Amino acid sequence: MSILEVNNLRVYYDTMRGEVKAVDGVSFKLEKGEIFSIVGESGCGKTTTSNTIMRILPPEAVIKSGSITFDGINLLEIPEKEMKKIRWKRIAMVFQNAMNALNPVKNVGSQIVDAITTHLNIPEAEAWRKVKELFELVGLDPSRLKDYPHEFSGGMRQRVFIAMALSCDPEILIADEPTTGLDVIVQRNILNLLRDLRKKLGLSIILITHDLAAVAQVSDKIAIMYAGKIVEYGNIYDIFTRPRHPYTYLLIKSFPKIGSKKERLVTIKGSPPSLINPPKGCRFHPRCPYAIEKCRIEEPPLVNINNKGLVACHLYDQLNLVI
Amino acid sequence: MEILRVENIKKWFPVRTGILSSILFGEKQFIKAVDGVSFTIDEGEVFCLVGESGCGKTTLARLIARLIEPTDGRIYYKGRDIVQMKKKEFRPLRREIQIIFQNPYEALDPRMRIYDILMEPIKLHKKHFEGDPDERIRTVMRDVKLNPDEYLWKFPHELSGGERQRVSIARSLMLYPKLLLADEPASMLDASVRSSILNLLTDLREEYNLTLLYITHDLAQAWYLCERIAVMYLGVIVELGKTDDVINSPLHPYTKALISNIPIPDPRRKTEAIEIKGEVPSPINVPPGCRFHPRCPYFMEGKCDKETPKYLDVGDGHIVACHLYE
Ligand SMILES: Nc1ncnc2c1ncn2[C@@H]1O[C@H](COP(=O)(O)OP(=O)(O)O)[C@@H](O)[C@H]1O
Ligand SMILES: Nc1ncnc2c1ncn2[C@@H]1O[C@H](COP(=O)(O)OP(=O)(O)O)[C@@H](O)[C@H]1O
Ligand code: SF4
Ligand code: SF4
Ligand SMILES: [Mg+2]
Ligand SMILES: [Mg+2]
């Protein structure tokens, strides 16, 4: 059963240079208890998507269309007062670059206590008990509750933010680039933590990242985003073994894969487009080695393939892309 | 033939402390960024330094390019000690030893057009440049796969990250370098652009007969590009050897952990990651004995926390510093 459903979401930014079509027709479903990853290169609209779900967009952002259905409610239509009952309490988020956002002159424990008491009406002593539990839950040593942020490493600070996000027992956790900037060993530890939390708490998790390799081991489903759109969606086995979209395919083939034969890496010409004037037709066409005339003119719809996944490519049933 | 020899090189940065703490703690404290590193690179080789952030890779590259002075140790380029060399003596070598930096957004002067950026090395070494500068600029642009007519008159901000990194590489090639120090040139680029930089470096190495010191935190890149790998941890090399030896039969517990934690973009291969506790400690308070001991799953009390492990060659130049192998 899906717990969250995003439908045809369009979010643009009004800027001096023009309208940035940051999210331009994004749809996906988050099933209860799954880890769903949104993967795409920087600037493709991932953070905008998650900020829209949380309804914390900056004033220059305009929601052009779409719905976000959570528990039968369209989050884009309810008043802020109602959203306050959902934000943090039922849907919580770990922000991108959160690691540097702790107050340096306040101990870590009391920062989480503050976060809890702002959202929940409970006495401070109980909040402290809660923080101690949360520390244990995310693998932090409760004896360090009174330590200051600078005494915590990057990975530990990321755990603090996960603890904070979990403080009101949400049903959905959105983690925006939770491992970016961390070293591989720490990255893996954080991803394992998310996997364990899903199991322990029955959480549904949206994991947002630019790192395709990182999510292969922990996700159930993946959406590949390119230039404001989801170009492919499916379970990880299908995506990584039998991708349908040329971008997904080329991206997977462009990673050096230790342990397999050393072959020349596949490259993708050019770079991601500006979202002020994105290419017409298929947004990937200027970089796509398979592009045909139709790709330049007509936008490919996101079609369902045997109920196994979605893909937006005119040639999805003609190309034989096997990893 | 050996082109570079680094001998027990050290770079300690003094910690800026207040008067009070220097009274309280007595002796001066140091960030031991590079703390006794030795290795050699052969001419034409691609040699890789791998390690997590903060282990001293960039400092080491800057030492070799002589952008900073070492605290101790020797660096020989083609048999000549460049640490002791006078500035004037080193000048011609500056053409031969070039460095490419990680951040393509900071490496290029934003006020200069690409043409002028590439002209600069020629101006600096006028006496040693023969031929037509414009022709050279165009050739190098084509070598890094940028169309000169399209790009030469642009400013860096008009270029994507990948294109800027190509310009940085082009600049480093202007005067036919021998030794290229590439400090994480692909790390800040988008995934779809990264592989083209890796392939470009592979091609240029052939075309220019380069020796490449490639620096990365990503073992997968090291595996793809390099013939030998040195794994660094907290200012020292813990393991060094041929790429296949180090990747397929790692010896040092840290190398083993790193390899098992590499994310592999293939869910069919469920790798069992070796769990390593904690994170890299500060290079100000380096753990005694083996630097990895507080995190090592094979830690032997009384030994690993007391004695610094010596380098041991287990054969074929595969070197490891760990008490398990003594
Ligand atoms: N506040 C803003 N004003 C204008 N443009 C923005 C703003 N925030 C993001 N953008 C632009 O929207 C696009 C998508 O950004 P973002 O959602 O942050 O992408 P991602 O998280 O995938 O890196 C980018 O082109 C970015 O430059
Ligand atoms: N100029 C400097 N002054 C003081 N400390 C420095 C300086 N440069 C680097 N360091 C420190 O030395 C250590 C190694 O840094 P660096 O060589 O940049 O590592 P890497 O490139 O492997 O990430 C780090 O702890 C870093 O903070
Ligand atoms: S629609 Fe055309 S351009 Fe777009 S990915 Fe498919 S083949 Fe390539
Ligand atoms: S010397 Fe001891 S602590 Fe260091 S890596 Fe070897 S076993 Fe581990
Ligand atoms: Mg983002
Ligand atoms: Mg560095």
pLDDT band at A119; cut points 50, 70, 90:
confident
Looking at residue B248, its pLDDT comes to 95
Q: Is B279 on the interface with A (CB under 8 A)?
A: yes
pLDDT band at B17; cut points 50, 70, 90:
low
Antiparallel, parallel or unpaired: β B211-216 and B236-242: unpaired
Domain covering B2-96+177-325 in this structure, CATH number: 3.40.50.300
* Mean pLDDT taken over chain A: 94
* Residue range A91-117: mean pLDDT, rounded: 89
Lowest mean pLDDT among A96-105, A308-317, B144-153: A96-105
Looking at residue B25, its pLDDT comes to 61
Looking at residue A237, its pLDDT comes to 92
Q: Residue B23 above 90 pLDDT?
A: no
Query: Dihedral through CA A145, CA A146, CA A149, CA A155, nearest 10?
Result: -20
Give chain A's domains with CATH numbers: 2-103+169-219 (3.40.50.300)
pTM: 0.93
Per-residue pLDDT of B248-274, as tens digits, reads: 999 999 999 999 998 888 888 877 788
Q: Is B164 on the interface with A (CB under 8 A)?
A: no
Distance CA B309, CA B252 (A): 11
Distance CA B326, CA B312 (A): 7
Looking at residue B34, its pLDDT comes to 98
Q: Is B258 on the interface with A (CB under 8 A)?
A: yes
The fraction of chain A above a pLDDT of 90, given in percent, is 85
Distance CA B127, CA B123 (A): 9
Of A155, A185, A257, the CB nearest to B265: A257
pLDDT band at B22; cut points 50, 70, 90:
low
Q: Strand pairing partners for A130?
A: none
Per-residue pLDDT of A232-278, as tens digits, reads: 999 999 999 999 999 999 999 999 988 888 899 999 999 899 999 99
Choosing from A245, A314, A316, A320 the residue with most ligand 3 atoms within 8 A of its CB, the one to mutate for a pocket test is: A314
Looking at residue B104, its pLDDT comes to 83
Give the Cβ contact number of residue A62 at 10 Å: 12
Greater confidence, B158 or A308?
Answer: B158
The fraction of chain A above a pLDDT of 70, given in percent, is 100
What's chain B look like in SS3?
CEEEEEEEEEEEEECCCCHHHHHHHCCCCEEEEEEEEEEEEECCCEEEEECCCCCCHHHHHHHHCCCCCCCEEEEEECCEECCCCCHHHHHHHHHHEEEECCCCCCCCCCCCCHHHHHHHHHHHCHHHCCCCHHHHHHHHHHHCCCCHHHHCCCCHHHCCHHHHHHHHHHHHHCCCCCEEEEECCCCCCCHHHHHHHHHHHHHHHHHHCCEEEEEECCHHHHHHHCCEEEEEECCEEEEEEEHHHHHHCCCCHHHHHHHHHCCCCCCCCCCCCCCCCCCCCCCCCCCCCCCCHHHCCCCCCCCCCCCCCCEEECCCCCEEECHHHC
In this complex, do A258 and B52 lie within 8 Å of one another by their Cβ atoms?
no
Residues of chain B found within 8 Å of residue A288, distances taken between Cβ atoms:
none
Looking at residue B303, its pLDDT comes to 97
Residues of chain B found within 8 Å of residue A254, distances taken between Cβ atoms:
191-192, 194-195
Q: Where are the domains of chain B?
A: 2-96+177-325
pLDDT band at A216; cut points 50, 70, 90:
confident
Looking at residue B24, its pLDDT comes to 64
Residues B43 and B1 sit within 8 Å (Cβ to Cβ):
yes
Choosing from B231, B238, B314, B323 the residue with most ligand 4 atoms within 8 A of its CB, the one to mutate for a pocket test is: B323
Please name the residue whose Cα sits nearest to atom 10 of ligand 2.
B33
B39: left (phi over 0), alpha (psi -120 to 50) or beta: beta
- Name the residue among B98, B95, B99, B103 with its Cα closest to residue B165: B103
Distance B283 CA to ligand 4 centre (A): 18
Q: Residue A192 above 80 pLDDT?
A: yes
